Amino acid sequence: MKRKRSYQTLFAVLTILAAALLAFAQPPRAVDTVITHGKVYTLDAQHPWAQAVAIADGKIVSVGEDAQIEKLRGPGTKVIDAAGRLVLPGFVDCHIHFLDGSLSLGRVNLEGAKDTSDIQQRLRDYAAKHPGKDWVLGRGWNYAMFGAETLPHKKYLDAIFPDRPVFLEGFDGHTYWANSKALALAGITNATPDPPNGAIVRDPKTHEATGALKESAQRLVSRIAPKPSRNENLEALRAGMKWANEHGLTRVHSAGGDFEYLDLFEELRRAGQQSLRFYIAYFLNPPELRAQDVTAISAARKKFHDDWIDANVVKMMIDGVVESHTAAMLEPYSDDPSTKGKLFWDPAKYTFAVTELDRAGLQLFTHAIGDYGVRTALDAYEHAQHVNHTQDRRPRIEHIETIAAADIPRFGKLGVIASMQPLHSYPDADTLDIWARNAGPDRASRAWAWKSIANDGGHLAFGSDWPVVTLNPWEGVQTAVTRQTTEGKPGAGFVPEQRLTVAETVRGYTLDAAYAGRREKTEGSIEPGKLADLIIVSQNIFEIDAHRLGETKVLTTIVGGRVVYQAPAK
């Protein structure tokens, strides 16, 4: 026995020696790709700036000066000359509804419309391009577009589409707008009762449905509207990935609507068509965590847990939105003292679900917009940490549109991540006239308080909530830095003390975004050993006027060492 073992040891030593000699005899293998002549902002604290990057096998292998990276170049190496442009880590969108957004690319987009006549013009243009009797589907209107009425009305749609059903989602996904034809097809009459957690808005005199459908009432129409086929969904996802890459995104964190379609993402991966990395949350509905939820979550995390598709996360929604008074507040709404909104979950059942899922090692996203919603989520996370003795789970709160002053330091203290969407604070009429009016001046003084949260040690993670707003992160960067509209309003900025620097904002879309997805060891900065997810952009965002940040164009997007987007040459 003893003798045999020593032979084995000898054999092992010889094998290692042979391998070492072989490695020594061969020249070092040339790298796959080099990026040269760049202004590389690495987010590596030791070496924040570099000129060049070398990539092999989908990973960054070296970062440094041009001369040093040149040496790694071989005859087969692809050379990308950045021509003095800014090179950044790939951007991450930490809050997205990817399939919904992807489908919206082929539908009417009302985002940014000025008023009802502008909306009608866009609908006419769409109808001219898509003639026929099919449904007209789209999204993106907001409450301010209807002036003093604040809610949409079917009359504006009936005027253009008397016979063709029209169904349009509001920008926030909480209210929908149908024309008379769609209401008729759905069988909505004066006698139709409101469903639980929803309202069919009616004319106070005639009791007739106006076409505005709040919260769950939209299901009366959506259940009869045409559903995309599997192929249409796949087609939309391909278009969505392309759109995301064009804007510099290399990973997204899905906050709902995608988990049910994990098989489609898997199909794209197998076909070699995946050009974006996905972190996909299971959406856990109230009233409670059930056995079938646990089964679905366990099966998905067992199957999807790598760099490309990861399903180790659960999303919950504790409240609604400020505009429709459904966000849960500690004190009554300023414009309507009869309501404080309310929690969608019973706090005890929510805390139980959080605690169970935290114990199982899952990350948690909780949508919380009102200050009471935010506090409830912080309390539940604190409880879970305490009873499970867990550390560094990095539970997240999504949105945090307003917050009690006392809760600001709890993000840093508890290690809770603040996942926020800069463009939601965009100070247009919807924000200043409706959001701020409903919240009132005190709560509005802590609107989207990312700087205060970060100053107290909290980690920020930025995203869009696409299709709620565009996924274009550069408009988000501009809003986080200026807290103004593109026209520079309001002049002093909306709660200007919450403005961030460009560097802080970039961090929220890259290294801190990776941290917020528990992937900062392999993503989020340009350092050897990390995944080669990088972008080259049109302008040096650290040197330009902040009001031009939103104009940034992405020239090249690289995911896993592969160029997935290249801007057309001018």
Residues near Zn ion (CB under 5 A) = 255, 465
Q: Toward Zn ion, which CB reaches closer, 369 or 534?
A: 369
Q: What is the end-to-end Cα distance of the chain in Å, rounded?
A: 74
Q: Toward Zn ion, which CB reaches closer, 310 or 465?
A: 465
Min CB(76)–Zn ion separation in Å: 44
Q: Toward Zn ion, which CB reaches closer, 152 or 463?
A: 463
Instruction: State how far the Cα of 272 lies from the Cα of 251, in Å rounded to an integer.
Output: 16
Q: Toward Zn ion, which CB reaches closer, 201 or 255?
A: 255
Q: Toward Zn ion, which CB reaches closer, 94 or 255?
A: 255
Bridge partners (DSSP) listed for residue 41: 49
Min CB(335)–Zn ion separation in Å: 24
Half-sphere exposure in the Cβ direction for 469 (13 Å, CA): 19
Min CB(176)–Zn ion separation in Å: 16
Q: Toward Zn ion, which CB reaches closer, 123 or 255?
A: 255
Instruction: State how far the Cα of 55 lies from the Cα of 67, in Å rounded to an integer.
Output: 15
Min CB(511)–Zn ion separation in Å: 23
Min CB(97)–Zn ion separation in Å: 6
Q: Toward Zn ion, which CB reaches closer, 282 or 565?
A: 282
Q: Do the Cβ atoms of 523 and 57 come closer than 8 Å?
A: no
- As to burial, measured by CB atoms within 10 angstroms (0-12 exposed, 13-18 middle, 19+ buried), residue 151 is middle
Q: Do the Cβ atoms of 554 and 567 come closer than 8 Å?
A: yes
DSSP 8-27: HHHHHHHHHHHHHHHHHHSP
How far is C-alpha 448 from the chain's CA centre?
16
Min CB(344)–Zn ion separation in Å: 14
Strand 52-56 to 59-64 pairing: antiparallel
Instruction: State how far the Cα of 262 lies from the Cα of 277, in Å rounded to an integer.
Output: 13
Instruction: State how far the Cα of 339 lies from the Cα of 341, in Å rounded to an integer.
Output: 6
Q: Toward Zn ion, which CB reaches closer, 407 or 465?
A: 465
Min CB(314)–Zn ion separation in Å: 14
Min CB(95)–Zn ion separation in Å: 6
Min CB(475)–Zn ion separation in Å: 17
- Helices 347-359, 371-388: inter-axial angle, 10-degree rounding: 40
Q: Do the Cβ atoms of 140 and 157 come closer than 8 Å?
A: no
Q: Toward Zn ion, which CB reaches closer, 42 or 419?
A: 419
Bridge partners (DSSP) listed for residue 557: 535, 565
Instruction: State how far the Cα of 327 lies from the Cα of 318, in Å rounded to an integer.
Output: 9
Q: Give the Cα-Cα-Cα angle 334, 287, 93 (nearest 5 degrees).
A: 70
